[in-house]
Amino acid sequence: MADLRNRPKPFEMRSLTVVAQDPSIRRGSKILTTKLSIPAESLEPGPRGARIQVIDYDSHTGKLYKPRAKNLDSDVLQSGWANSDIEDNPEFHAQNVYAIAAATLFRFESSMGRHVPWFFSQNAHQLKIAPHAFLDGNAFYSRADQCLAFGYFKGQRNKWIHTCLSHDIVAHETTHALLDGIRPFFDRPSSPDQAAFHEGFSDIVAILSVFESPEVVSFVLGPDADGFPGLIESQRFTFEALRRSSLVNLAEQVGSELTGIRQTSLRESLKLEPGHYLNDDDRQDPHSRGEIIVAAVLRAFLTVWVRRLEPIIGVKSRLARRDNVVEEGSTAAAHLLNMTIRALDYLPPTDLTFSDYLSALVTADVETYPSDKPYFYRQTLIDSFSDYGIEPASLSGEHPGQWAPPPGRPVHGFSHADPMK
């Protein structure tokens, strides 16, 4: 058992190093990393916390990687680390999946303002994570096994590729587990939109959570302007320039190594031009159909980011301060990420449509920010979804697209307060 005398204080946080996106994204020759701030719970070897436990068993080789037994509160990566410390060190792989899963869980609970359960039998409290579960270029969430399982495979250059090192993939699979706990009936047979929502929503959370990182946003913008340290050319952050960035794609390294085509991601939703795709035969598969709402949300994100920059760069300015541009991008991503998560509480328990989700997005934001000014997140989302043939499910709310409240007022006269204490 963990030593309760050393238990951290409530809301105390710790920072752990993770791969910023995946090992193919590098600053110079070094893999781009970032630090995630997560609750500083007492950890047992694994790492094993109250809600997440890493069990590093490889079913292909039959090997159980021994968890780090000491210095559980310290970062695996220290100064002077090499790329091999990231790519080949099982201890870092365990830290990477634990930290990203813990940060995703913390983001959900912070956004929703409450405890978010896993949907496991027998009221199990821990999500198990296997960083080297099997030999294959795949990863999945299993409700029956109460786990996230990540595969690994030999890439095009005979080099081991680990899906557990993709920030996108870890956040995506953790989101599947969290969504399953919040809306467990979404796995039942229903409309094509309901099956696709699980995939699309998990992609949205994965990509926006990556963009919360200032290191990632700074990397997207490229180097400083020649001769102007700390400044960048304004032409780099137009909508089209940002849309072409590889950082809005999902799992670039895994996709390129599986296909053999460099710079090909598993999914590249922003390449999906506006249009009405819902009735297309090739958009009935959950993954391809889910890309429709991913494209709509990401287009809204880039539109708002550019809009937030207008007061900074003006109309004629050629240069802008890098830190200001980075802050605006991270802020826009964080706001939209909160909206996408809070919307889950405004969804029906089953038979979901994309139109329902759009109204839930609007309603969740109205409850927190009654005014949509000055950046018009809600209207931008409505316009972006409309570009893909998706209109709000509600037309009777006070605000465009908002769910209308139930008629009348709740009556509490028949509530038995004493038994509820």
Mean pLDDT of 358-378: 95
Question: What region, left, alpha or beta, does residue 245 occupy, with left being phi > 0 and alpha being psi -120 to 50 degrees?
Answer: beta
Specify the range with the lowest mean pLDDT, choosing from 95-99, 228-232, 240-244.
240-244
> CA-CA distance, 148 to 110, in Å (whole number)?
22
The model's pLDDT over 200-236, given as tens digits with 9 standing for 90+, comes to 999 999 999 988 888 888 888 888 998 889 998 888 8
Q: What angle do CA 217, 223, 225 make, to 5 degrees?
A: 120
Tell the residue number behind the tokens 């429709």, with chain if given. Answer: 292
Predicted confidence (pLDDT) at residue 387 exceeds the cutoff of 60: yes
Mean pLDDT of 307-325: 83
The model's pLDDT over 391-411, given as tens digits with 9 standing for 90+, comes to 999 987 788 899 887 777 777
Q: Which residue has the higher pLDDT, 157 or 314?
A: 157
**How high is the pLDDT of residue 316?**
63
Q: Which residues contact 325 (CB under 8 A, 6 or more apart)?
A: 217, 221, 232, 237, 309, 312
HSE, CB side, 13 Å, CA atoms: give it for residue 55.
Answer: 13
Predicted confidence (pLDDT) at residue 261 exceeds the cutoff of 50: no
Residue 40's identity, in one-letter code, is A
**How high is the pLDDT of residue 42?**
86
DSSP E strand stretches across 208-288: 231-233
Q: Residue 263: pLDDT band by 50, 70, 90 thresholds? A: very low
Nearest 5°: phi and psi at 135?
-95, 95
Let me know: does 135 contact 151? Beta carbons within 8 Å: yes
Predicted confidence (pLDDT) at residue 255 exceeds the cutoff of 60: no
- CB-count burial class (<10 Å; 0-12, 13-18, 19+) for 301: buried
Q: Which residues contact 61 (CB under 8 A, 6 or more apart)?
A: none
**How high is the pLDDT of residue 253?**
55
Q: Residue 360: pLDDT band by 50, 70, 90 thresholds? A: very high
